[in-house]
């Protein structure tokens, strides 16, 4: 395994394809390093400085990134499955199409982060700052977003089925049995559906059953009841 810390101190910045599996990089300064395709599985990057680093397509599965500085880092297509990112600073980071399934992001700063098309299934996002984040087309099924701040976040076409949205800042939330709906920035989200308030009212109006997921009067009544509560 390479001694990345010493090589970085000597001026090297390109660590493409580096094998750093299980490496202890706690508090390491790797600002602006190129770690594209690097294997950092199970690595300890707690409190590491990875500001502006290129981690595109890197493998960070099960890595410890608690309190790491990843501001404006490029993590596009990175594998962060089950990674521990609690209290990490990911402000402005590019996480487009990243795999964050089952990751711990509690108390993380994701303000202005790009999470478009990211896989966040079963992720822990409690108390996370997602203000102005781009979550367009993100998969948030069964994610825990309790007490997260979603003010001005882009949730267009995000899949929030089964997600815990209790006490989210910037979101109004309703649940009836197995059905849930939320109102965010004037838009109604129900499963994968994304409507204006008027579009939602029209969609779930009696007589429009042929467009519903479940074509029953009870289903439509529950959707209308949640919509009425939210608006």
**pTM of the predicted model as reported, rounded to 2 decimal places:** 0.86
Length of the chain: 231
Domain boundaries, the chain: 1-169, 172-231
Do the Cβ atoms of 118 and 139 come closer than 8 Å?
A: yes
C-alpha 76/C-alpha 94 separation (Å) is: 6
Which CATH code is given to the segment(s) 1-169?
2.160.20.80
In 3D space, the residue among 123, 169, 124 whose CA is nearest the CA of residue 149 turns out to be 169
Predicted confidence pLDDT, tens digits, the chain (231 residues): 679 999 999 999 999 999 999 999 999 999 999 999 999 999 999 999 999 999 999 999 999 999 999 999 999 999 999 999 999 999 999 999 999 999 999 999 999 999 999 999 999 999 999 999 999 999 999 999 999 999 999 998 888 888 998 889 988 888 888 888 889 988 998 877 889 999 999 999 998 888 888 888 888 999 999 999 998
Which helix (H) or strand (E) is 9 found in, with range? helix 4-9
3-state helix, strand, coil in the chain (%, to 5): 15, 25, 65
């Amino acid at each position: 395994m390479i001694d990345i810390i010493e090589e970085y101190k000597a001026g090297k910045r390109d660590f493409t394809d580096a094998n750093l599996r299980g490496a202890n990089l706690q508090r390491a300064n790797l600002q602006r390093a190129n770690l594209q395709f690097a294997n950092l599985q199970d690595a300890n990057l707690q409190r590491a400085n990875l500001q502006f680093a290129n981690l595109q397509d890197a493998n960070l599965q099960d890595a410890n990134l608690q309190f790491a500085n990843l501001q404006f880092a490029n993590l596009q297509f990175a594998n962060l499955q089950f990674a521990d990112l609690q209290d990490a600073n990911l402000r402005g980071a590019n996480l487009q199409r990243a795999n964050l399934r089952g990751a711990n992001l509690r108390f993380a700063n994701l303000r202005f982060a790009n999470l478009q098309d990211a896989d966040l299934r079963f992720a822990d996002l409690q108390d996370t700052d997602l203000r102005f984040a781009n979550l367009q087309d993100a998969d948030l099924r069964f994610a825990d977003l309790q007490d997260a701040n979603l003010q001005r976040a882009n949730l267009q076409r995000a899949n929030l089925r089964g997600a815990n949205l209790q006490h989210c800042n910037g979101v109004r939330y309703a649940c009836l049995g197995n059905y849930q709906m939320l109102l965010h920035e004037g838009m109604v989200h129900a499963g994968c559906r994304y409507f204006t308030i008027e579009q939602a009212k029209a969609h779930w109006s009696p007589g429009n059953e042929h467009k519903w997921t479940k074509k029953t009067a009870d289903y439509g009544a529950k959707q209308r009841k949640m919509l009425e509560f939210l608006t």
